[in-house]
Chain A
């Protein structure tokens, strides 16, 4: 009788241990998947004339571009739930194009040069953008489409 009880107790303990280890393993995997899910980060720094192209389509997209040079050009395309783009350019002719499509879009452009051109296109629920241009010839353009209100301006 004693042996039988010991055997049953051993089996129950083993099953409980197995289930607890399996549960802990599943929880760990779930948490890690959530924390590491769908994030794109791109940082580009250039010193000299050049062009940058960034295309991101994660859930959260972050792009930062810093350019110093004669003629610099930057193009950023982001499609995701949350998009953040930042461009800082210094040069003779600076061109920046940002296109964002998603729930929350944030774009920031700062340009210093003789000719500064900036174009921002945003389609989403909450769109925010800042363009700062310090140049002889400046051309800023912002196009927005608010999905929530169904209007554009």
Chain B
């Protein structure tokens, strides 16, 4: 009987400690893409970890293009593009969504879609023809 009580106490203590450690130990995904040159290739990134972070830098080329889709608890995106016709598409679904897009070129197109509790999006465009769409939705 004494042994079972001690065992119960140990199990309770371990259960109490295991909960916060399990919550804090989430998966983290981070991706950085840097492209320079006339033949800049389109960038397509999809992340579904608990914390997702993406950084994209594209310099040159006629059509720098980046598409990022993130589904996680915390999602972060930063995109910088310099070229002829710049295009950026970002889709984020999570509790916290933060994205930044900076574009410079003949034409600049940006689409941000965010679904979450805390959505923050910033778009800076320096082009002859600019187009930006930001949609933020509370689930």
Interface residues of A (CB under 8 A from B): 3-4, 7-8, 10-11, 13-15, 17-19, 21-22, 25, 33, 36-59, 61, 63, 69, 80
Contacts and interface: CB of A to CB of B under 8 A. Distances in A.
- Interface range, B side: 35 or more
A47 B125 contact: yes
A38 B20 CA distance: 25
B138 A25 contact: no
B90 to A, nearest CB: 12
B123 A45 contact: yes
Given A55-B136, A61-B136, A41 B127 contact: no
Nearest to A28: B20
Majority SS at the chain B contact face: strand
26 contacts: A7-B6, A10-B6, A11-B8, A13-B9, A14-B10, A14-B13, A17-B16, A18-B12, A21-B16, A21-B17, A21-B20, A36-B96, A38-B117, A39-B117, A47-B126, A48-B127, A48-B128, A52-B123, A52-B134, A53-B133, A53-B134, A54-B136, A55-B135, A57-B137, A57-B138, A58-B119
Contact of B131 (A8, A21, A51): A51
Contacts of B6: 7, 10-11
Contact of A44 (B5, B12, B134): B134
A49 B128 contact: yes
B27 interface: no
Contacts of B132: 44, 46, 50-53
B52 interface: no
A11 B5 contact: yes
A37 B5 CA distance: 43
B44 interface: no
B119 to A, nearest CB: 5
B114 A40 contact: yes
Given A14-B9, A14-B12, A69-B130, A41 B123 contact: no
Contacts of B134: 42, 44, 52-56, 63
A37 B127 contact: no
Interface string B40-83: 00000000000000000000000000000000000000000000
Nearest to A66: B124
